[in-house]
Amino acid sequence: MLANRLLQPERTSARGVDRTFRHPKWDAPCSVAAFGCEPREMITQSHGIVATLRVTSTSFSRLSSIWTPHTIALMERTICMRVAYDGTDFHGWQLQLEVRTVQEVLEQALRRVVRHHVDLIGSGRTDTGVHAAGHVSNFITTCQMDTYKLKHAIGSRLPEDISINAVLEVQPRFNARRSAVSKLYRYRIHAAPGRPVERAAQRYVYHYWHPLDVDRMRAAARHFIGEKDFSSMAAAGTQRATMVRTVLRCDVQRHLREIRIDVEGTGFLYKQVRAMVGTLLNVGRGQWEPDYVKDIIESRNRASGGPTAPARGLCLRWVRYPPHLLVPPAHNEFTPPPSSTE
């Protein structure tokens, strides 16, 4: 936390109070000054203005005594962002060396706006080629720009395949990953002999030309619901403390030539949803009986499951959080104590 690093004074000017501070994390000078007896603005700056306070020289000594990690913490804000992106040209969400990722592009834009280092916490790590309509992330900043302006400032610095849908200030204990209650992924299948001709459809749906029985797929999808060991649905070699995950619902619906599979859960293993879709496709085309899915799950063997469906048809639709964490905190105004002359 930035508040745990107190700015230390380095010098005092004979003209009045003129102190320069150096932030140990940003390694940049932050000046605090007040001259004479008339009111002045006290500015703390680190790669840009982060706070402006109205003070007088007579009250500065009192300000110095209360300029503590607690008062610095009053400037800290936890900002939550809901982002949509086309995952076609990204190597997933998580930051990686020498490849383009969503987290890298967002953090670069954020640093240009808030003028300090930013570590984004994401609600999940989407795979290469997977899209998102409602990915959530958060970061801590001392930038005092209101969220409406912050949204437009960040959005204007992003490429065309990323869009900021919402920016809001949330409770300090909010964590995009750990606070999530559930998330929903949608997989779209173009179920027709002819491939989709629309450019947008080609990027966001999987063309499957074999006839599919939606009723059989629905019957099979019921076996995924509940708290189960999904080792047979995880990518080969996946190692976690536990392979148990909870799927809250798995719905299969047809919309004209498109089949949509919605999977909601509290968390997922690597490539789990795409393996579930591949298994349902084998059932839908008549290769397996719907009840065979239960045997696949109980086997805990990835080789017994269906193929991993392509990434382009998968999209993270939304992430759900407890409502009380999304309420802006009631900030205490940092008001300088009144001078003796007032």
Q: What is the CATH number of the domain that holds 169?
A: 3.30.70.580
Task: Please state, in angstroms and rounded to a whole number, the distance separating the CA atoms of residues 270 and 60.
Answer: 55
Residue 314 is predicted with a pLDDT of 97
- Is there a single domain that holds both residue 309 and residue 200? yes
Q: Of these residues, 127, 146, 229, 262, which one is catalytic? A: 127
The rounded distance, in Å, linking the Cα atoms of 62 and 12 is 16
* Of 138 and 202, the one with more pLDDT: 138
Across 221-228, average pLDDT: 97
Q: Do 175 and 271 lie in a common domain?
A: no
Mean pLDDT within 10-39: 36
Model pLDDT, residue 228 = 96
Angstrom distance (rounded) from CA 125 to CA 106 = 14
Q: How many domains does the chain have?
A: 3
Determine phi and psi for 188, rounding to 5 degrees: -110, 130
Q: Which tokens hold the place of 287?
A: 């290769």
Q: Would you state the pLDDT for residue 265?
A: 97
Query: Is residue 168 domain-shared with residue 190, that is, in the same domain?
Result: no
User: Does residue 232 surpass a pLDDT of 50?
Assistant: yes
Q: What is the pLDDT of residue 197?
A: 63
Terminal CA-CA length for the chain:
36
Do 249 and 215 lie in one domain? The reply is yes
251 in active site: no
- What pLDDT does 55 receive? 40
Residue 276 has pLDDT above 60, yes or no: yes
Q: Three-state SS for 125? A: coil
Residue 265: both structure tokens together: 């859960």
For residues 216-245, average pLDDT: 92
Residue 58, pLDDT > 70, answer no
Instruction: Give exposure, 157-188, as e/b (b: 16+ Cβ within 10 Å).
Output: bbeebbebeebbbbbeebbbeebbebbbbbbb
* Summary mean pLDDT of the chain: 80
Q: How far is CA 20 from CA 63, 74, 199, in A?
A: 15, 20, 57
Which of 51-60, 188-197, 325-334 tops mean pLDDT?
A: 188-197
Token pair for 278:
């591949």
pLDDT for the residue numbered 245 = 96
Do both 32 and 116 map to the same domain? no
Residue 325 lies in a domain: no
- Indicate whether 263 belongs to any domain: yes
